[in-house]
Structure 1
């Protein structure tokens, strides 16, 4: 029964072009072709003959057709012109050949044997046309399924309940892990009476419970699913650890979804890599899948001067974004060695990012031809570099080497020359360079800034942040930025005006730029303004029904930049520098002792040393000259200048010199308990 569920796909000749993934369906009364296939075949819409006919599928869904299109189809011995109804929808096939084509071509299709039996009227014999050998699961993109199994007393697994359902149009755009979470949520709701009283083991490709609970904010559909699953006792079991026959059969009949390969995203031998087709809504998803499988591109170049050498690399990802790096080589090397250094550095960066498919482009014929074994490496200076480069290239699964002109390698060449013209100080490993753009020559007079009494800069709201949200709400696109699709859930359009949904059911008018600045000026310094703080300004503006994303930050910056608030605000008595903590809480509690000397020449009284004692709290200093630095003289100084004048201190701090560690000083400290 499972083999009968496999659809029958063939490759046909459509108007002189080989087209794969043509489904032969005995349940279809007419032939159908999608607009995406028309664009791939470069068939203009002007050839469509308009009609008011509508199509209805087995589920009862009615689809309006764009019209009729007549195409020449050749399959095996059958060739003729057939009518196709054009539909503007996404499908897993390129076209459908229904009973109209089957009967007129004298064809008997078999989904069990995956072949067509066709009658050749010229030779009066039957011919067998094999279907495409690639497996196509039944509605893999639109159906989810689950199985509830239980072990009996003997440990044998038995299937209890099977569940399957068709995803809605919105659910088909979920990610794979979100579809698995939806499967768990649907199964738990349907089998709640089974799962409430026991601990249920979840067998899936990944830990769904951990994924949902690790979300930073439980909101949206993930939050809804988590709240519904809180009453169940769930335990994750890896899929590879399962040995039950019932689950093995279920997984065999419901294979996991994977990203389609590039070969499945093609029409005949024309690979889908044309960026201009990405503008077609029906083709955008296919183009993104193809772009994601394109390799990275590495451009590299080296440069050498009399003093320094540099290496420049440019990495281009599959979506066209470029990342530039410049390295300064502080060792002696030739220009060819610098070229190899740039190549090795670029390959190491790609391997660190996990890239395994790369296209290497360089303007050095020597390096490219040596890597391709066209040139023999005769220099012993380049041999270590060549061996290291080959060692790194062996770690890639697919490498494409190509020599290009210097004009195409302009960016890497400029980066290499830039590294040789910059001097880095000792100990500095990298330096950030800023490149600014000027649109007017320096001799032109630039406009003076406006004379505004409010000193503040509000750059973030000068950009119209509403444009991408308005464009998405007017024409929802599943290929739009994920952030835009997520933010659009909180907005609505009223006419051509963007509105923000409020928590209490009221919506706010979205503003930006000068209008937002005018609102803050009116709320802060207007007729009814009382120079409120930033949070109060935000509350007033929202109270009047206005909103923009950075409203709180901009209101706080506006209030801080108001000159009147700075002139008439309360005086701040806090010091402008951080206060330094003190070691001792009151005067004369701790003293620091030290000796200065020997002094040359000596004084007239033959004083050779100076002893200094400094109070930690008041920084008061006691100083006395000494003829000798002995324990007796230091003991006499401590007793007369510190204890008799300021009282017995708590601590005396010294550098543990021989004079301070002598017997008289230690005896004094012991007697007074210092």
Structure 2
């Protein structure tokens, strides 16, 4: 034992150690057991070897360099931000939108327009797509930023809209604005909107065949479920035949099928460099190896519980497999349990190899006699001489379903004495 622990925690100390305890107790010292040592060793090493000219990292992303995407957030009451831009050239048209949640998560959206349009029409399409996505994500307060002066000032009412095509877009945009509790539009210069411009450029560079379905829902899916599927799909990124899951810090995790899941679970738990860790630690190790599937933690726990050595050395579960009922005995010998102890080797000198035992549930009194064979007549003789004649008639008898303990003679006796 640690001597310091012994001085502080031992209730009975004699001699010189007791004197030390009295002296130390005057200083109001509280002893706490040291926990993990690994983390403190790393901290001590870093403290002893400081880095010269160290500058703290700035984790706040500016509007110019947005480089993080994340999962969906529902029911957002705080102020959110939206950035939109478009790209119109001779080859194709595309738009890019970035939604920023209050906690710093970024949601990037790219759309390729399959119809010819002007520059202003593409800007209206980008703004409307961003507002529709914000409504689906249940963003109630929004700040809209864009580098298109006509769109911003026309929506704010400072400029007039004379183009017949843009009048319809403006009406629909004003209809979407009414879905928000608070919304504002801010004009940005092009230098502060480079990330959405890059997304729109990527949308234009994407090659799509005519008639190719990019969004397909399962059959017989309601409108609300389709909206939920679209929100969940924002957290995934397809690349060829491989599907990736986006994390909150922008990292991509490879989604696997059932065959790969079994191999990953085996290698993580029982492979060459595995540590036979529990289910929760297995899930964290798999995520660090950039793999993901929806039932990751559940599958890790089930695989860990099926491990043979875990079943042997695990903590015992002191819960019965079925519900237990209390047997209440109101007075002594009102309820007796009678059982036969199995065949005993070697047999006694008188040839007895069985023991018939009766136990009272109230006083725990035991009556036991040995016999060479246990028959119904033997049971009746034992019951009359050792139970009825000594302690009176019991109210209940508890036995197993053996024939020698539940035969017709015994049932006749119970019916005669109403047991």
Q: Which has the higher contact order (CA 8 A, sep 6+)?
A: 2
Query: What TM-score, normalized to structure 1?
Result: 0.24
Query: What TM-score, normalized to structure 2?
Result: 0.37
